[in-house]
């Protein structure tokens, strides 16, 4: 699951809106990962976050075809 750096989160909710698996919620205006939801590692939350508060701690490997 993504890591949220709570100090950087401004509560904008963009990551919550973009997550296709509903794996993120706002609690006390801070994005929080719902541990029971299966994250498909789309990295949309990381991409959309304006403050860099989300890190997806894995590498995207683009295969050559
Ligand atoms: S990586 Fe994708 S599926 Fe996983 S929490 Fe972020 S937006 Fe949701
Ligand atoms: S997109 Fe970033 S700043 Fe906005 S709620 Fe999510 S983690 Fe916080």
Domain coordinates in residue numbering, the chain = 3-55
Any idea which residue has 């509560």 for tokens? 11
Cα gap 24→45, rounded to integer Å: 9
- pLDDT band, residue 60 (cuts 50/70/90): low
* Residue 13 zone, left/alpha/beta (φ > 0; ψ -120 to 50; rest): left
What residues does ligand 2 touch, defined as CB less than 6 Å away?
A: 4, 9-15, 31, 48-49, 51, 53-54
Higher model confidence: residue 47 or residue 62?
47
Amino acid 57: pLDDT: 82
Q: Which ligand has the nearest atom to the CA of 50?
A: 2
Question: Does residue 4 line the site of ligand 1, with CB under 6 A?
Answer: no
Fold of 3-55: Alpha-Beta Plaits (3.30.70)
Q: What is the pTM of this model?
A: 0.87
pLDDT at position 64? 76
Phi (first) and psi of residue 43, to 5 degrees: 65, 15
pLDDT tens string 4-59: 999 999 999 999 999 999 999 999 999 999 988 889 989 999 999 999 999 998 66
């Amino acid at each position: 699951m993504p890591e949220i750096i709570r100090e950087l989160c401004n509560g904008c909710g963009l990551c919550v809106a973009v997550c296709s698996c509903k794996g993120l919620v706002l609690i006390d205006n801070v994005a929080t990962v719902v541990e029971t939801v299966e994250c498909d590692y789309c990295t949309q939350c990381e991409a959309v976050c304006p403050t860099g508060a989300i890190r997806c701690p894995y590498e995207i490997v683009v295969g050559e075809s």
